[in-house]
Each structure stands twice: as structure tokens, then as C-alpha cells.
Structure 1
Amino acid sequence: MPLVTAPAHPQNPLARTIRAVHTDLFTGYTPFEKVFFATLIGLQILVSTTVFEGWLSAVTAVAGMICVILVGKGRISNYFFGVIQNVPYLILAFQAYFIGEITIAAFYVITQFWGLYIWRKNMRVEKSRAQRVATSTLEDEPRDVITRRLSLPQIGLALLILGLLTWGYGYLLTQWGSNQPYVDGFTTIIAVMAQILMVFRFREQWVGWLVLNAVQIYLWSTVDGGGNLAIMAMYAGFIANSLYGWYNWSKLSRPLPSS
């Protein structure tokens, strides 16, 4: 009588979903990435608890750090943490009366679902077919997003759009009484553009995030009471992750070997 072997992977939909989530969140990291990412998250927790600015700031900072780490790694689970980050951030921006930040936080929440839809259709395993056959099944391997690069004419057009929209939106914010109209306007426009580039998987988003995060540290330092240190620390961590994101997305935009 032939032996009946159990399937290699659970067939229950819930079990498969749990396995996929675990794979996406916790596997496929290099030793450097494990130390680097753990340090970034740990620093956010340390600052958020030491200089406690309230639960909204703490949740925004920690969830935001996890979100951008997963973006840099090219993992689709970043969109779950993006929602957790941006809902409380929307409330914080309203409390600080940063009108541009209110706009962008609402935009971020909406684009989490848009990005999830786009990325799901453009994921790959960071191994060739031959490597996967030799080591494990597709289900066991983390799936990273397929990234792209802007051409030089596209970069020039993006910079022109950034300048024109920043001037126009900054002028509009002065009429609405924003605390920092042109800084607020610049961060809003560059954030929208970087987010769109992220959704459509372009590497150059990371340049936008680098500039944006530096300006955001200044912006949140102007909040009454000496600034919101938890949010400022979050953006400092974002800067470090943006450098890594550029490096990793440059690798992800290269074609995989066919064998």
C-alpha cells in the first residue's frame, strides 16, 4: 500500500495567508538589514517613549518607520503599516494647523489602496527559476516589487512640475492662513510626486523622500513647545532609510538572471 504524504504547504486559506504575511514581513533579510532595520525601529521606540508626545505621535513614528523600511525592501506589506501611520498623522497635522500636511496625509491614506493594487500585479521573487527549483517553492520565498527608473527627460519634467506647483500651492496656502505656506506647499507637492513615483515603482522616489524628510524635520521643529521630537526622530530615521531605499531599488530595477 503506497504511503500518502501530507502536502508540503497548508491548503487552508487562512493558514496560507498567515504564511504569506510571515514570509513578506520576516524573511529574506541580509545580516546588515536585520541590524540596520532593528536599529531604526528601536530608536523610534526609544524616542517615542523617552520624550512621550502622546500616543498619536508614538504610533505614527513607529508604524511610519516600519512602513518605509518595507517600502525600501520592496515588500507589499508596507501598505498595511502606511494606513496605521497616516491616520494618526492626519490628526496631528490638523492639530498643528499644517494645511498642506493635512492634504498630504489624506492623500497618503487613499494611495495605500491604490499602491496595493498596482504592486500586486508587479511582484517577483529575488531568485531565478533554476535557483527556486533547487532550493524551495515560490510560496516560501519573499516577493519584492519590480522597480523602474526615470529617464533624464522625465526627471527634467518632474522638476519643472515640482517648481510650478510648489509656487502655486504655496500662494494658495498664504490665502488660507497656513503657518508655513511655502514650506508647507513644497512638502505637499514633493510628497505627492514621490508617493506617485512609489506607487508606479520608480526608483527616483527616494530622492524626493530625502529632500522631503529634511524639510519635514524643520517643519515639525516649529510646532509650539519646542517641536514634536517623536515626529522629528521619525523623519531622521526616514532619511537613513531613504539612502538604503535608493541602493536597494537600484538593485531591484536590474533584470534577474534567467537561469
Structure 2
Amino acid sequence: MFRDWTRFEKVWLLLFTIINIYLFYAFQDSLLGLISSLSGMLCVVLVAKGKIANYYFGIVQTATYAYISYSYSLYGEAMLNGLFYLPVQFIGLYMWSKNRTQQSVKGEDVSVKRLTKRGWVYLIIIAAVGIVLYAELLHYIGGQAVRLDSAAVVLSIIAQILMLKRYAEQWALWIAVNVLSISLWVVTLLTQGGNDFNMIVMWSAFLVNSIYGYYNWTKLSKAQEAYNL
């Protein structure tokens, strides 16, 4: 499984796994939180590597994270994961399987695409409108930290769509999502209490991985373009 992993990927996974296990025992974090965090880390590092197997771990992570978010009244996060991310894992399995790369470049499974300037303009407009409208909905149903929650959810949906379509620019949005999600869980745990510190560790690990993912997918895109010349 780890044959084509880089040293960074191995160290990143080992470091955050140790932190998660320490928090689980030291602060009596929930077992569900530990499972969600570990499966989520395996999922995102496999996405960064362009591996279809990421979706198997994604199924576990999205289901457990949806339940945890609901228990803290983070309804945007709960709906995003339970109603969108979870079924999308199965769609992603199908779409990535249909678009496997025909060459071997750093061991990735799928071909990588790039977003145009016009695509970025459309993306920004859709994101801005979506964040405002969804924040109003979350406020109406009594959600917590609705602005942070809305921004994290809307950007996550757009990033997930870009991921399904195999665009490298998904990682720019994941970086923003991870920063927002870290802030969301810090605010939530400080205001509501709770011992799910694994959620902060998980999103911090996601942030590091998303920066690496942007770098790796950009490099893969260039390598695939060179191969096809």
C-alpha cells in the first residue's frame, strides 16, 4: 500500500495519527471522532495522490462526521456530509474509474485537468451568492456559527464538484475550506464544550495535505501534458 508513497506522505500520516491517538487517550475523545479523523486523513492523502481508493475511506469519514456535526448543531456540516458527500463518494468511484490515466506518472490513477480564467470568474460569483443564501437558511433553522458554517459548506460543495471532474484547482478551495473548518470547530468547542479535539487535528491535517495536494496535482498535470506532447 505504501510502496509509491513519498517520505512527506508517510511522515504526515504518521505524525497526525499519533496526535489523534494521544488525544483519544489523554482527553477521552470520542471513539467515533477518532475513526472519523483517521479515515478522513487516509482519504485526503489518497486524493492528493490521485488514487481511486480514497473513496472507500471517504464513505466512512463522511458518515461518521455527519453524525458528529449534527450532535453539535452544526447543521450545515451535517447536511453537507450526510446528504451530499456520502452519496458523492459512490459517484466519485464511478467517475474516476471511467477516467483512469493511460500512463504511469508518479503512480496516480486518474488524469488531471486545469480550470480556465473564465471558469474562475464563474466559480467566485457562484460561491459568493451561495454563501450569502445558505447562511440565511442556516440562521433560519437555528444553526450555530452560520457564516463560517455556510462558507465552509458552499466552498466544500464546489471543491467536491471540481474533485469529481478532476481539476487541480480544487485544492485552492480545499485550503480555504480547511482554514474555515478549523475556525468553526475551535469556536464550537470553546462555546459549547465537548471533547472532540480530534476534529481540529483532522482539519489541521487536511490543511497541510491540501497544500501538498495543490503542489502534487499541479506537478501531475504538467507531467501528463509533457507525456501527451
What is the TM-score with the length of structure 1 in the denominator? 0.80
* Cα distance between partner residues in 1 of 2:10 and 2:73: 37
Partner of 2:134: 169
Is the Cα–Cα contact under 8 Å of residues 49 and 108 in structure 2 kept in the other structure?
A: no
Equivalent residue letter for 2:227: P
Partner of 2:203: 235
213 and 143 in structure 1: CA distance in 2 versus 1, 3 angstrom threshold: closer
* Cα distance between partner residues in 1 of 2:117 and 2:227: 26
* Cα distance between partner residues in 2 of 1:104 and 1:155: 23
* Cα distance between partner residues in 2 of 1:162 and 1:200: 17
Count residues in correspondence. Answer: 223
What is the TM-score with the length of structure 2 in the denominator? 0.90
Is the Cα–Cα contact under 8 Å of residues 30 and 195 in structure 2 kept in the other structure?
A: no
Is 1:210 matched up with 2:163?
Answer: no
143 and 125 in structure 1: CA distance in 2 versus 1, 3 angstrom threshold: farther
Shift of 1:46: 3.1
Percent identical residues: 33
* Cα distance between partner residues in 2 of 1:249 and 1:204: 9
* Cα distance between partner residues in 2 of 1:67 and 1:50: 25
Is the Cα–Cα contact under 8 Å of residues 23 and 29 in structure 2 kept in the other structure?
A: no
Partner of 1:110: 87
Partner of 1:196: 161
Partner of 1:253: 221
Equivalent residue letter for 1:225: G
2:96 to 114, 119, 122: 119
Shift of 1:167: 0.4
* Cα distance between partner residues in 2 of 1:125 and 1:40: 33
Is the Cα–Cα contact under 8 Å of residues 83 and 109 in structure 1 kept in the other structure?
A: yes
Structure with the higher fraction of residues in helix conformation: 2
Bigger Cα Rg: 1
Partner of 1:93: 69
2:4 to 28, 45, 48: 28
Stretches of structure 2 lacking an aligned partner (at least 5 in a row): none
Equivalent residue letter for 1:57: G
Listed one character per residue, the Cα deviations across residues 47-101 of structure 1 (whole Å, up to 9, x for unaligned) are 3343332111110111111110111111110000001111111111110111101
Shift of 1:125: 6.1
Is the Cα–Cα contact under 8 Å of residues 75 and 138 in structure 2 kept in the other structure?
A: yes
Shift of 1:177: 1.0
* Cα distance between partner residues in 1 of 2:25 and 2:59: 22
Is the Cα–Cα contact under 8 Å of residues 51 and 230 in structure 1 kept in the other structure?
A: no
32 and 187 in structure 1: CA distance in 2 versus 1, 3 angstrom threshold: closer
* Cα distance between partner residues in 2 of 1:98 and 1:145: 34
Is the Cα–Cα contact under 8 Å of residues 42 and 54 in structure 2 kept in the other structure?
A: yes
Is the Cα–Cα contact under 8 Å of residues 160 and 170 in structure 2 kept in the other structure?
A: yes
Is the Cα–Cα contact under 8 Å of residues 168 and 218 in structure 2 kept in the other structure?
A: yes
Stretches of structure 1 lacking an aligned partner (at least 5 in a row): 1-24, 129-140
